[in-house]
Each structure stands twice: as structure tokens, then as C-alpha cells.
Amino acid sequence: MSTQLSQQLSHSNETLRDGWVPVNETWTYASASTITVPSGAANKYQKGDRLRFKQGAGYKYYVLTAVADTTLTVLINTDYTVANAAITDNYYSHEMNPFGYPDWFNATAPTWSSISIDNGSGGQPTTNVHRVRVTGRIFESQIQASGTKAGTNVVGCRFDPSTLYPPYISTIWHSIGYGFIYNQTDDISYTLYGFAYLTTGFSWNCDADYSIPDNKVIGSLGVFCKYEI
């Protein structure tokens, strides 16, 4: 009895040490970013929880952005997607930094609005870095891109986050972050102020008295955003 208890406690200690708790239930694929779980999920999981499981060799890592009674929704990213295959070795964690959790994920390039920035001939500009993370109920992203200003307006850049980011639960026009545009040839810079634009867009604009000339080459565009989910 003592040996069995000792083994059970040893297993518990390992869980406590690495931060991952076995879910002891069956998860199944629902979509590339959702998982079907037994009823009652809202009593066990919450936004910001970290997940890991296997679909083949090695763990995949995720962070929850929504919980319904039988569905977990994870942050969309290009590093790990849920495959239409069996899920094994599934764990969750309420901790910030359980062992192996990557914290930041790569994301698909945004589809930039045609009134903000393009590639100089109407196509999409180059997005070099797009990283996303969730801690607790805070979502944040970092983007670095380059291209050409499209249109004579104050819009440094704009895109629709609805297929990339978790839902934004605050009100429109709320501030979400900052940005910056730099043109090395002319040695000019523009500070951008990010906000939730109408109902579908995130926009980073410069001051209204300081619009960016049409077709100005943008050597570097850097923006970040952070908001409650």
C-alpha cells in the first residue's frame, strides 16, 4: 500500500513540477483550431490555459481563446494546428510557463487593406514577422513589414483581424497599440496610433496633420497590439 501510494504521489509531483495536468478525458478533432471535449468544459478550462497533446510524434502546444460547453478554441497560428486525427497524451495547464510551452507562435500574414500599404503595384506588401501570444486574458501581437504607401491618407496600415486574432471584446475606437513607419531614403518617420476601427478592422494611423504621401516607400513598418480577450 505504501509503495503504491508513494508511486502515485511521485506521479503527482511530476505533474506539479512540469506544470502539466493530464485531462483524463477524450478529446477529438473539430477543426484546425477547435477541439471537441466532454460536456462541462467551462468548469475545467478557461481562456489563457495552455494545452498540449500528441497527434503522431511529439507534443503540439496551444493556448485557449474560448471555451464552450463541449468545445475548446485555440489561438490560430501556423506552428501548430489541430489535425483531423486521433488526439493522445492530452494535458492542460493553468500555469504561465509549463515546461515546453513556446509562449509565442507564428501567425499568417495579415491581408492588408488596399488603402493603407501595398507592394507598389497593388499587391500585398511583405510581412516579415507576425508573432502572437496569449497570457491570461491578454492577447498581443507583433508585426514587422515593408511595402509602399497606398493612397494619400493618415492610414499607416490596416487589416481585418477577424480570421487571425481572438475576438476583441472592448468597444470600437479603443486604443490597441502603436506603430512606426520609416523611410530610409528620405530619412522620415511617422508614429502610428493603433485602434479598433469600426467593427472589422484594426488600424494604425499617424496624426491627422501629417498624412503619408501616396507611393512613399515604407522600408520598415512595425506595429504591435494588445487587448483583452
Partner 1 sequence: MAETRLKQSQSIVGDGWSPADETWTYASASTITVPSGAASKYQKGDRIKWTQTTVKYGVITAVADTTLTIAVNTDYTVANAAISANYYSHQANPIGYPGWFTLAAPTWTVGEIDNGSGGQPTTTEHEVRVDGNLCITRILGHGTKAGTNWYFSCSNVGPAIANTNSSMTLGACNAGWSGTDHNGVVRYITGVGWFFTFDSDRTIADNQAISVFSSTFSYEI
- Closer residue to partner 1, CB minimum distance, 93 or 113: 93
- Which of 96, 167, 174, 214 is the binder for partner 1 (CB under 8 A)? 96
146 near partner 1, rule: CB under 8 A: yes
Per DSSP, the chain holds a count of helices (H) and strands (E) of 1, 16
Closest among 112, 219, 222 to 178, alpha carbons compared: 222
The C-alpha cell at 1 is 500500500
Q: Give the CA-trace dihedral at 28, 93, 48, 77, to 10 degrees.
A: -50
Burial of residue 176 (CB within 10 Å: 0-12, 13-18, 19+) is buried
Stretch that binds partner 1, among 13-21, 32-40, 81-89, 163-171 (CB under 8 A): 13-21
Q: Enumerate residues 156-215 that contact partner 1 by CB under 8 A.
A: 178-180, 182, 187-192, 206-207, 210
Least Å from the CB of residue 109 to partner 1:
13
Least Å from the CB of residue 95 to partner 1:
5
What distance lies between CA 49 and its chain's CA centroid? 14
Which amino acid makes up residue 82? V
Least Å from the CB of residue 43 to partner 1:
20
The C-alpha cell at 96 is 504561465
The C-alpha cell at 185 is 531614403
- Closer residue to partner 1, CB minimum distance, 26 or 135: 135
Stretch that binds partner 1, among 81-89, 111-119, 161-169, 216-224 (CB under 8 A): 216-224
Least Å from the CB of residue 190 to partner 1:
6
The string over 29-46, giving b where at least 16 C-beta atoms fall within 10 Å of a residue's C-beta and e elsewhere, is ebeebebbbeeebeeebe
Query: Do 82 and 53 meet the contact criterion of CB atoms below 8 Å apart?
Result: no
Interaction site with partner 1 (CB under 8 A):
2-3, 5-6, 9-10, 12-13, 16-19, 95-104, 128-129, 131, 133, 135, 140, 142, 144, 146, 178-180, 182, 187-192, 206-207, 210, 219-220, 222-224
